[in-house]
Copies of this chain bind each other. A is one copy, B any other.
């Protein structure tokens, strides 16, 4: 039995998220159906994590198992020819059977993009959150430092989050402005449901002086969702990359 790791890029606009849902097509189902065209049978594709409806991924890792001996190239070019234009396999590699797509990840990086201008942008509308009021980046960066380390992120999780613990580790939060675009890059050990979107929403609320930067500290001490900032909309969020310990495998 072979274990194949895929890297998948997608524009999440038209999907209900990674995972199958009754209310629309999922990335997972769409990938599984395209893969079935190549393999001749449906297999389960397990991703490194779920993304919400409308969230994008530059590089989502996922694995499946197969007895098929077809070359790795077929899992990229072959599967892509059966996928719609908003999803594409970027690479395929064979990994050891013991490879753990969920528990094995070392770190994940998400990017949240804000379009910060008094007028909206048609060209950035699908890939950013439009915030009219000029944001105070110095305050946002001051606040971002408080996220670093291990904390109880209960104030930063979506209502129906099913995680056993809300303790998460954040390694880095990097905020940059380029013209009207502000990017918030967050790297950490793992994330709760909606966590990056609530972190971004709270940072934006601090940038528009709704809260002081120290409000983040209070949210760790008094971890209640109602005390946090808004949940930033899905279209501004991208999964950039998931890191696994370095190994050597064949890859296409």
Interface residues of A (CB under 8 A from B): 9-11, 56, 58, 76-77, 80, 85-91, 119-123, 125, 127, 238
Please tell me if the beta carbons of A56 and B123 are within 8 angstroms of each other in the complex: yes
A203 → chain B, closest Cβ, in Å?
23
Please tell me if the beta carbons of B91 and A122 are within 8 angstroms of each other in the complex: no
* A59 CA / B240 CA spacing, docked (Å): 29
Please tell me if the beta carbons of A80 and B119 are within 8 angstroms of each other in the complex: yes
Contact of A122 among B86, B119, B120 (CB under 8 A): B86
Please tell me if the beta carbons of A10 and B58 are within 8 angstroms of each other in the complex: no
Please tell me if the beta carbons of A90 and B76 are within 8 angstroms of each other in the complex: no
Please tell me if the beta carbons of A122 and B76 are within 8 angstroms of each other in the complex: no
Chain B hits for A120, CB < 8 A: 80, 85, 88
Give 6 A-B pairs besides A10-B122, A80-B119, A86-B122 with Cβ atoms closer than 8 angstroms: A9-B122, A9-B123, A85-B120, A86-B125, A88-B119, A88-B122
* A122 CA / B88 CA spacing, docked (Å): 6
Please tell me if the beta carbons of B89 and A119 are within 8 angstroms of each other in the complex: yes
A191 → chain B, closest Cβ, in Å?
20
* A107 CA / B58 CA spacing, docked (Å): 36
Chain B hits for A86, CB < 8 A: 122, 125
A56 → chain B, closest Cβ, in Å?
6
A135 → chain B, closest Cβ, in Å?
19
A7 → chain B, closest Cβ, in Å?
9
Please tell me if the beta carbons of A91 and B76 are within 8 angstroms of each other in the complex: no
A86 → chain B, closest Cβ, in Å?
5
- Chain B residue, CB-CB nearest to A238: B123
* A19 CA / B73 CA spacing, docked (Å): 44
* A9 CA / B80 CA spacing, docked (Å): 33
Please tell me if the beta carbons of A122 and B89 are within 8 angstroms of each other in the complex: no
Chain B hits for A76, CB < 8 A: 119
- Chain B residue, CB-CB nearest to A76: B119
* A121 CA / B11 CA spacing, docked (Å): 9
- Chain B residue, CB-CB nearest to A56: B123
Chain B hits for A119, CB < 8 A: 76-77, 80, 88-91
* A58 CA / B11 CA spacing, docked (Å): 22
* A119 CA / B11 CA spacing, docked (Å): 15
Contact of A121 among B9, B91, B122, B127 (CB under 8 A): B9
Chain B hits for A56, CB < 8 A: 123
* A77 CA / B238 CA spacing, docked (Å): 29
A109 → chain B, closest Cβ, in Å?
15
